[in-house]
Amino acid sequence: MKSFLTAVAFCLVAQFAYSAPVTLEPCADIGATLENMLLGTHQQRAFYKESVGLVAFDAQEPAAASYGLAVIFNEPIENEGYATRKCLGLNFLSGVDLKGATSDYHPSTGLTVTIPVRRPNSEGTSSFMTLVLKIKTINTGTSSEGQVVEAELN
């Protein structure tokens, strides 16, 4: 009975871990550079009037998890009124399927992009997962205060 309860607890913890939020890091901090971003239409996608871009990158190491995903979007400069680019990313993926990515936009919730990815698991293979990005512009008054980007793996 004890081993059964342990197995059930492990499954519950594993399920929770697979749907937990993921922290996106600044691209420079995780090695996502212009030099290692992959080219080709299947490695790049743009969403929401071309203002949000997704680019797969190859960090080369570790070999089993060398892929990453960069999210590039406009970020307004305070009191200037024009946008600059900001890049956040996630690495340690074993595959990114940007061709299979889908998006949905609602004014109240912002842009949601769903991307099929593969991530290494403890058995030495990779698991198919879904990376969900939620990108919302925060507006106060007449100016945009910036973007909030949240991510989770399911």
- Per domain, the residue ranges of the chain are 21-153
Q: For residues 154 and 146, what is the distance between their CA atoms, to the nearest angstrom? A: 26
Q: For residues 69 and 49, what is the distance between their CA atoms, to the nearest angstrom? A: 20
**Phi then psi dihedrals of residue 42, to 5 deg:** -80, -5
pTM of the complete model beyond 0.85: no
pLDDT per position as a tens digit, 39-89:
777 789 999 888 889 999 988 777 778 889 999 987 766 656 566 788 999
pLDDT per position as a tens digit, 112-132:
999 999 988 878 788 899 999
Q: Report pLDDT for 141.
A: 53
State yes or no: pLDDT of 23 exceeds 50. yes
